Amino acid sequence: MTNKELSKMFQLLADIMEIYGENVYKIRSYSNAAFNLNRLSEPLTEIPMNKWKDIPGLGKAIIQKIESIMEKGELDLLNAYLLKTPSGILDLIQIKGLGPKKIQKLWKELGISSPVELLYACKENKLSNIKGFGLKTQEKFQQAIELYLQNKNKLHLHTALQEAAFLMNKWNLAHPNYEIIPCGQLRRKSQTIDKLEFLAIHDDLNELIQNLENSAYEKIKEGYYEKEINDGPPVGIYISSTTEKGLNLLKSTGPQSFYKAVIKKSSARFKKESEINIFKKAGLPYIYPECRENLKSLEADSETMENLISNEDFRGLIHCHSNYSDGVNKLKDMAEACIEMNYEYMLISDHSKTAFYANGLSEESILKQHEEIDRLNENFENFIILKGIESDILADGSLDYDDDFLKKFDGVIASVHSNMQLNEEKSTARLIKAIEHPATRILGHLTGRLLLSREGYPVNHKKIIEACAKNNVAIELNANPYRLDIDWKWLDYMLENDVWLSVNPDAHSIEGIEDTIYGIWMARKGLWPREKLLNALSVKDFKNFLKIN
């Protein structure tokens, strides 16, 4: 069992116990255990059990429960609470802005035990008379619930790919003579996934259909079968013979508008052609699956497609956190991981002092970190740590250190983390003021969105991009699969305005560095060329970019 799975178990236990009004010290104990398990830099299962007691938050009682989980695969105390708790309460816990105390109040005073019941109560104005629930709170809850219900059975890309790998492995074990390929949104690497689709290939289609029907797949249309999954998106299977694999792979990958456009470009028959040959006969370069949601890819030539950014182009890691703020790993460990991945530099960017919730760095802590960076850099060959910060953009658009202190950094990423309720005009003005600050070199996660759980704050993208062009500020494509912000649909306008793109994992651990691939896929959707990728610059050129202002 992974650290994250253990952490989620203890946090859920803490939340449910708080809803029931249980002992506050026990609740805090489980919550602390969840927090510290999530921050562990190595799997708990790889740490000798006699060392567990040295881990913060893991006392004797918690360790006993972990041992029980390892043995049984479940937590008995959590199961006892789950048996007596309506399932809708667990859904309410997932909704942004609804903490255990508010859920307890809604359940106790109004009998609300599900998101649908809460949505109805909001629309009927039933919350406004309860202490602590005004009209604004009611409106906020209504928006959050509608977003939750709309996205309930959707998955983030990284989770969907994990689920797909599990299903493919299961399928291959059961039917080793079939070929199965992810298609649809999975193959296109969509931002979020509402259906897990595959192309199953076998020359005996009758046998294939029989196996699907035996596994409770229902025929939706000719050549396509689907199965509903509890608490997740449906699984869809397209079927194909070997000879028609290329055409069916193109069609099942989609989107339909792209497929139809390709087919219309040639009068040739594609039935027995490979996917690559279909593009050739249509007079097109091979258009990578992740690019196909962007219909402008149909206008691209071979040079454009081959010049798209790839993992091999990355020379520097930009935007990462260490345990100086809310990161899991030490600065030295993050740097060594970068060296292992063949990076030439790392711009460390821990949270700034206003981000107290993320252990944001005071001026004193920053100076201490800079001293450590200097010591580490003395021992590195062909690698350097650059002194950066993710500086909070305050409500008025200013950064949260004075101008003289900001000069101590090699590079500043400016990001919004609070006061996200401003209207479009005020949000846009706030960002433009931060962009115009001489210290700002990169604008972080432009809208602050969290996919499937929080809409981004409203901004005028065109004005923001134009301001970045005017001030030579790069825009981050935050590669964290929960963000993927700036949205790829705005990359074309960035190219028009000659703005640099920085694809950053916003890594809070060594593992998080690997999230860069999600940003790469999104950038490729926007047909982003490697010559405008900030991370592809050499150390010298990147330093020059940071010093432009």
* CATH (domain of 189): 3.30.460.10
Cα–Cα distance measured from residue 122 to residue 97, given in angstroms and rounded to the nearest whole number: 14
Query: What's the pLDDT at 549?
Result: 52
Q: Are residues 421 and 530 in the same domain?
A: yes
Give residue 342's region: left, alpha or beta (phi > 0; psi -120 to 50). Answer: left
Q: Are 298 and 331 contained in the same domain?
A: no
CB 414 within 8 A of CB 386: no
Query: Quick one: 30 and 97 in the same domain?
Result: yes
Question: How many CA within 13 A on the CB side of residue 200?
Answer: 29
pLDDT, tens digit (0-9, with 9 covering 90-100), for 459-513? 999 999 999 999 999 999 999 999 999 999 999 999 999 999 999 999 999 999 9
Q: What is the pLDDT of residue 548?
A: 62
Residue ranges of alpha helices (H) inside 175-288 are 184-188, 205-214, 245-253, 256-264, 275-281
Instruction: Provide the token pair at 334.
Output: 């993050």
Chain segment 183-214, per-residue pLDDT in tens: 999 999 999 999 999 999 999 999 999 999 99
pLDDT tens across 525-548, in order? 999 999 999 999 999 999 999 986
Judgement on whether residues 96 and 238 belong to the same structural domain of the protein: no
- Rank 112-116, 454-458, 471-475 by mean pLDDT and report only the highest: 471-475
Please check whether residue 117 is in contact with residue 170, taking contact to mean a CB–CB distance below 8 angstroms. no
- Residue 262, pLDDT > 70, answer yes
pLDDT of 129 higher than 80: no
Q: Answer yes or no: do 232 and 332 share one domain.
A: no
Query: To the nearest whole percent, how much of the chain has pLDDT over 90?
Result: 85
- Determine whether 63 is exposed, middle or buried from the number of CB atoms within 10 Å of its CB (0-12, 13-18, 19+): middle
Task: Give the integer Cα–Cα distance in Å for 223 and 131.
Answer: 56
Q: In the numeric block, which tokens belong to residue 120?
A: 């109805």
- Report whether pLDDT(168) > 70: yes
Range of the domain at 205: 155-306
Average pLDDT over residues 354-358: 90
How many domains, the chain?
A: 3
Total-model pTM = 0.87
Q: pLDDT for 388-401, tens place per residue?
A: 999 999 999 999 99
- Flag whether pLDDT at 158 surpasses 60: yes
Residue for token digits 């609740």? Answer: 27
Last residue of a domain, which of 125, 151, 177? 151
pLDDT score at 42: 86
**Alpha carbons within 13 A on the beta-carbon side of 199:** 22
Please state the separation of Cα 20 from the chain's center in Å: 32
**Mean pLDDT throughout 86-110?**
91
pLDDT surpassing 60 at residue 53: yes
Closest CA to 161 of 169, 151, 152: 169
Q: Give the total residue count for the chain.
A: 549
Q: 18 to each of 26, 36, 474, how far by Cα in Å? A: 10, 19, 44
Structure tokens that stand for 462 in this block: 């065109």
For the segment 320-336, what is each residue's pLDDT rounded down to a tens digit?
999 999 998 999 999 99
Residue 147 predicted with pLDDT over 90:
no
For the beta carbon of residue 187, count every other beta carbon within 10 angstroms. Answer: 21
86 with 206, same domain? no
User: Do residues 445 and 359 both lie within one domain?
Assistant: yes
Region 71-98 average pLDDT:
92
Domain end point (choices 306, 326, 352): 306
Dist CA 474 CA 467 (whole Å): 10
With a CB cutoff of 8 Å and minimum separation 6, the contacts of 257 are 295
Whichever domain contains 12, its CATH number is 1.10.150.110
Which residues have a Cβ under 8 Å from the Cβ of 155 and sit 6 or more positions away? 163, 192, 193, 194, 232, 233
pLDDT band at 440 (very low <50, low <70, confident <90, very high): very high
**The two three-digit tokens of residue 57, written as one number:** 């938050």
> pLDDT for 504-527, tens place per residue?
999 999 999 999 999 999 999 999
Q: Which range has the worst mean pLDDT, 84-88, 254-258, 468-472, 486-490? A: 84-88
Phi-psi domain of 193 (left: phi exceeds 0; alpha: psi -120 through 50; beta: other): beta
Give me the pLDDT at residue 40, please.
Answer: 87
254 and 197 in one domain? yes
Average pLDDT, the chain: 94
Q: How far, in Å, CA of 350 to CA of 359, rounded?
A: 9
pLDDT-based confidence at 454, cuts 50/70/90? confident
CATH number at residue 493: 3.20.20.140
Q: Are residues 296 and 378 in the same domain?
A: no
Domain end position, chosen among 306, 322, 345: 306
Examine the pLDDT at 346 and tell me if it is beyond 70.
yes
Give pLDDT tens digits for 294-304: 999 999 999 99
Phi-psi region of 156 (alpha: psi -120 to 50; beta: other; left: phi over 0): beta
Do 16 and 147 belong to one domain? yes
Helix axes 115-123, 135-151, angle to 10 degrees: 140
Exposed e or buried b per residue across 319-340, where buried means at least 16 C-beta atoms within 10 angstroms of its C-beta: bbbbbbbbbbbebebbbbbbee
Mean pLDDT of 402-413: 97
- Given a contact cutoff of 8 angstroms between Cβ atoms, the answer to whether 6 and 37 are in contact is yes
Whether 133 and 190 map to the same domain: the answer is no
Residue 192, beta-bridge partner list: 156
* Predicted pLDDT at 181: 97
What pLDDT is attached to residue 143?
86
Q: List all residues 6 or more positions away from 71 whose beta carbon is below 8 Å from its beta carbon.
A: none
Both 247 and 386 in one domain: the answer is: no
Average of per-residue pLDDT across 150-164? 93
